[in-house]
Each structure stands twice: as structure tokens, then as C-alpha cells.
Chain A
């Protein structure tokens, strides 16, 4: 149980185009999902917290107009990288917080990641 999927796993796009990444919790419901970015040989950096039915909360320094997040249901969140540029090339990882746990014990289950390359 507790499986999170991401689609696509890998995407190559031209500079200036937009890319959408989907994150799904397959066997549990998640009111909260998170989006992270990881550059080579670095740790994960939290970009935003996505809450079902409300606006996402972005971390300092993350452009909300560039990284659009939608959390339309308890099992799906999407991240759209708008007008992508080469510097947006990175490994994007989502996670979903299991609704059945709470209060500090909340476990996050991570997707396998999406590798974005912007040419």
C-alpha cells in the first residue's frame, strides 16, 4: 500500500513551452501533497505545499506564476512548469501525506520523480 505515482517519468521540452507533471496517490487519500525539486548531487528542496480544494502555499523564492499547482481531488495534484527554461531542468518529486496519520506522525509517501530537461 501507500503508492504514489508520477507521470511522466521523464520529459524533454523546448525552451518557452509548458510542462505538466501529475502526481497521484493510488491507494490512499491525501488532503496534502508536496512538490520538491532536486538538482544533481543536492538534497530535496520543498517548492510548495498543495492542499486539496485550496490554493497552494509556496516556499520563499519559488515563483507561483511559474510553477502552477492544482490539487483538484484527494488523489491528484499537478505541477505545471510554465515557459520552461534550461535552468528549470531538474528532478521534480511529489509526495502525499497519508490522511490516516496525523500530528507529527504523518508519513509522506513519495513518487518516483520526474526528470525534466529543457533544451
Chain B
């Protein structure tokens, strides 16, 4: 399985930006980078995905390194509702684009 590496936990203050890093040094050219998040006792929620270019949507921005070996999920202004486990996942052609969840990053947002 294509692997990603994320910090176990991060902390942020409300209203401040949050940068969640992800390393994926074994990524191949056709692998998409997906981010999902999971709030306690809920199913995961899609956040954003990208291939090479940076991406923006209403929830977040995704900054992808030029060599694609790392990416950063950016929450522009963290709210208490953003406290969740954030998963960075590679969508791999060879595995029929199945999602393999790692441990993710537990984001704590302080009021």
C-alpha cells in the first residue's frame, strides 16, 4: 500500500490558520492525494483532493510540493468544529483507488 506519514497530533487556536503536513515519498505519478477527516463517533468526511496543482475549496486548501512527495492541508481559520482526526490518503490506481486509512493527525482546537 502507498504509505503516508503524518504527525500523531497537532494543536491550534481558534480563528488561526492550521497547516497539517503529510509525507508521501513513495507516491507515483498517477496517485491522487486525498484528505478526509473524522469527528468523534462519526463517519469520515471528504475534505479535498489533488494531483499536482494546489487546490482550494470551501473547506480547505491543499498545497502540494513540486516533487509531490509531501503535501499540506491548510485550514484558513480553525474553528472548534474543525477538531477531528485528519487523514492524508493516496488514491492508487493499482489498488483500484481503494482508500487505506493510516492513523491520521488528531487536531485539537483551543478556544
Contact = CB atoms under 8 A, between A and B. Distances in A.
Contacts of B91: 104-106
A104 B30 contact: yes
B43 A93 contact: yes
Interface residues of B, number: 27
B42 to A, nearest CB: 6
B43 A107 contact: no
B32 A104 contact: yes
B46 A108 contact: yes
B59 interface: no
A58 interface: no
- Interface of chain A, helix or strand or loop or mixed? strand
* Chain B interface, >50% SS class: loop
A110 B45 contact: yes
Contacts of B30: 104
B96 A49 contact: yes
B31 A104 contact: yes
B98 A46 contact: yes
A44 B51 contact: no
Contact of B44 (A44, A97, A105, A106): A44
Given A43-B103, A104-B91, A110 B43 contact: yes
B13 to A, nearest CB: 25
Contact of B99 (A105, A108, A113): A108
Interface string B7-25: 0000000000000000000
Nearest to A42: B103
Nearest to A45: B101
Contacts of A2: 46
Contacts of A104: 30-32, 51, 91-93, 97
Nearest to A91: B41
B49 interface: yes
B46 A107 contact: yes
Question: When A and B form their complex, which 6 residue pairs have the shortest distance between CB atoms, in order from nearest?
Answer: A110-B43, A104-B32, A44-B101, A43-B101, A110-B44, A93-B43
